[in-house]
Amino acid sequence: MRAETLTSADGTQLAARSYEPAQDARGSVVIGGAMGVRQEYYANFAEWLSREGWRVTTFDYRGSGDSAPASLRGYRADLFDWTRDYEAAIDHAHAAQPDAPLYLLGHSLGAQLPGLLANQHKVSGMLSVAAGSGYWRENAPQLKRMVLYFWYVAVPVAVKLFGYFPGRKMRKVGDLPTGVVMQWRKWCLNPKYSVGAEGEPVRRLYARARFPVVAVSIADDELMTLRGTHSLLDLYENAPRQVERVEPAELQVRRIGHFGPFRSDQHDKLWPRMAKWLGGFGTAAA
């Protein structure tokens, strides 16, 4: 693993890591993380994937993880800024291997933002993991019971008091810049999620995506539902897309959940399947 510093389009410095395979790489994989999840969370999976022959890039969005300032109070960033950060990671990975295919592995939010990318032409496919529309009516039942309190009370009050969302103190999501959490709130309260909240320009961006998408839906996901997964895929209206449903029982495990796909106990269970799906993009293209 090599720690690196990337520069986003507006000059913002981002913490990133590159994992190089021992042999010639089969291609590049950029891991786009979930909301409030540090790139460190994906380190074991990224190392394993590099041993499978892929060059892997992870990064922290501005204002999060190793890309965060000393204090988030008053820090300015929104989800469009995070998309620019995603673009910087893609540009960096593409420059390292310009003639190799580049795939995205998007976990939750990391599969939502690629519809907004300006450099979609550099992407050869996306594996979406535990991702879906965040629209609250399509949340999993246990989340839906409390999510309106979260959006209408907890978030507005917290950002007003602290100048950012103190998710770590509240044990919800993670620390987030005000602009990120308030824009995310707007998306999650709209039936058509990001496209509905932001309007026609954003719909056209998603419609421009042509890279194939394989969406892995986790049956016991405590946040995302199968319905939400299909709603997200529908935003990528002109992209080839399919859903792969994964049940814990078929992997002989008691639980997977929203964050489980990247835990080390999936080393010989779900990880090989994800690697196979990534490799399948190249097979389909051929």
Q: Which tokens belong to 5?
A: 């510093």
| Percentage of the chain exceeding pLDDT 70 | 99
Mean pLDDT value of segment 188-199: 98
DSSP for 39-78? GGGGHHHHHHHHHTTEEEEEE--TTSGGG--S--TT----
Residue 283's pLDDT band, with cuts at 50, 70 and 90, is low
Taking CA atoms, 223 is separated from 134, 135, 179, in Å, by: 9, 11, 22
Q: What per-residue confidence (pLDDT) applies to 98?
A: 96
Residue pLDDT, tens place only, 86-103: 999 999 999 999 999 999
**How many CB atoms lie under 10 A from the CB of residue 155?**
23
Say if residue 286's pLDDT is above 50: no
Taking CA atoms, 247 is separated from 108, 221, 232, in Å, by: 18, 10, 20
Which has the closest alpha carbon to 36: 2, 7, 79, 73? 79
Which has the closest alpha carbon to 215: 243, 234, 236? 243
- From CA 174, how far away is CA 167, in angstroms rounded? 4
Q: What per-residue confidence (pLDDT) applies to 37?
A: 97
- Map out the domains of the chain with their CATH numbers: 2-285 (3.40.50.1820)
Q: What per-residue confidence (pLDDT) applies to 282?
A: 72
- Report residue 196: phi and psi, to 5°: -70, -40
Residue pLDDT, tens place only, 132-169: 999 999 999 999 999 999 999 999 999 999 999 999 99
Of the listed ranges 170-174, 193-197, 218-222, 230-234, the least confidently predicted one is 170-174
Residue pLDDT, tens place only, 19-62: 999 888 999 999 999 999 999 999 999 999 999 999 999 999 99
Residue 228's pLDDT band, with cuts at 50, 70 and 90, is very high
CB within 8 Å of 23: residues ≥ 6 apart: 53
- From CA 44, how far away is CA 63, in angstroms rounded? 23
Say if residue 273's pLDDT is above 90: yes
- Kindly state the DSSP code that residue 230 receives in the 8-state scheme: H
Residue pLDDT, tens place only, 253-272: 999 999 999 999 999 999 99
Say if residue 284's pLDDT is above 80: no
Taking CA atoms, 123 is separated from 30, 102, 281, 282, in Å, by: 10, 5, 11, 12
- Report residue 87: phi and psi, to 5°: -60, -40
Are the C-beta atoms of residues 45 and 267 closer than 8 Å to each other? no
